[in-house]
Chain A
Amino acid sequence: MHSFGYRANALLTFAVTILALMCAMASFSDNLNSPTPSAQVKVLNINWFQKQPNGNDEVSMTLNITADLQSLFTWNTKQVFVFVAAEYETPKNSLNQISLWDGIIPSKEHAKFWIHTSNKYRFIDQGSNLRGKEFNLTLHWHVMPKTGKMFADKIVMPGYRLPEEYR
């Protein structure tokens, strides 16, 4: 009953149980945090706007993104993945979501930022529906924990419009 093997087994089981319990508690403690992030995105310029030879519209724009995501960070946060996506509806597609810019925030000190950038990923429509198109810009964030459940949420900013003519 009290051999070395049994004691080692009991100790290992106990250690793993405690570790699992601590991970679960750390993950659960994220629920106690109620974040209040803020964000603002401005379209400063439409750099160019054209129809590709294959018939799809493509636009390039310059964005100014200001955000304060400091309240998302807790002791169980490894990093926050943040991105800005353009979202719009076309006759063919009920939803088009195109990521324009993304970034990884490694710590709370970097969570209040201001960036001036042209779109990192190409803004291409499936078809030719972008002239005069109204779209939303949405700031999404995905919180990656040190362990446990991942969180995600977003701020939707409506009321952007693309020009009527190619340029």
Chain B
Amino acid sequence: MGWIADTVDSVKSIQLRQALIQIVNLGLIVSSALMIWKGLMCITGSESPVVVVLSGSMEPGFKRGDILFLHMSKDPIRTGEIVVFNIDGRDIPIVHRVIKVHERQDTGEAYILTKGDNNDMDDRVLYNHGQNWLQNHHIMGRAVGFLPYVGWVTIMMTEKPVLKYILIGALGLLVITSKD
């Protein structure tokens, strides 16, 4: 009767090995995604190297759902550049164009005014009460590249969280059940 016990043992070890391989695979996928993201952060020097356009204020240049690649270099900000900025005390970054720059002689500190191409007014109405200018620390990066439509995936996932769980569940199931 020894061979039955042997077979059971060997089957068990195969399953264990397979389960371990699946876990390692899953870990590999997660860590490589993280590596790409952090690598992009290092290369571009920007906290968030990729942003999704959420509003139509830059139409017809950028539509809702387009993706922008950001770069944060040491070069000073100039008029005409499209920058992503964060107003103090607010979470959602804004993508608009710079229309005025005053750069200090002594400190190099810049006073920046922005406006959305599709808006009639400049952004002073969006800034905090009494704030007339953006300064360097508000700027998160400037847009250097552009990819249309791809951002719709994230917009849909943030607006319908169910989709997100379905997608993550399906991917997880696929990874766990796949055998090669």
Please report A residues at the B interface, Cβ cutoff 8 Å. Answer: 1, 5, 23, 27, 78-79, 81, 83, 85, 91-99, 102, 104, 106, 121, 126, 140, 142, 144-150, 152
Contacts and interface: CB of A to CB of B under 8 A. Distances in A.
A144 B143 CA distance: 11
Contact of A83 (B60, B61, B80, B101): B80
Interface in B100-131: 100-105, 108, 111, 117, 122
B146 A102 contact: no
B147 A147 contact: yes
A78 B62 CA distance: 10
B61 A126 contact: no
Contact of A98 (B60, B100, B108, B145): B100
A41 to B, nearest CB: 15
Contacts, number: 83
A59 B21 CA distance: 72
Given A121-B122, A140-B80, A145-B146, A96 B99 contact: no
Given A104-B60, A147-B146, A99 B104 contact: no
- Main SS class of interface, A: strand
B101 A96 contact: yes
Interface of B: 60-62, 76, 78-82, 97, 99-105, 108, 111, 117, 122, 143-148, 174, 180
Contacts of B78: 97
Given A23-B147, A145-B146, A149-B144, A92 B100 contact: no
Given A83-B80, A126-B111, A147-B146, 14 more contacts: A1-B180, A5-B174, A81-B97, A81-B117, A94-B105, A96-B101, A99-B100, A104-B60, A126-B102, A140-B80, A144-B146, A146-B148, A150-B82, A150-B145
A106 to B, nearest CB: 7
B145 A149 contact: yes
Nearest to B104: A93
A95 B101 contact: yes
B28 to A, nearest CB: 17
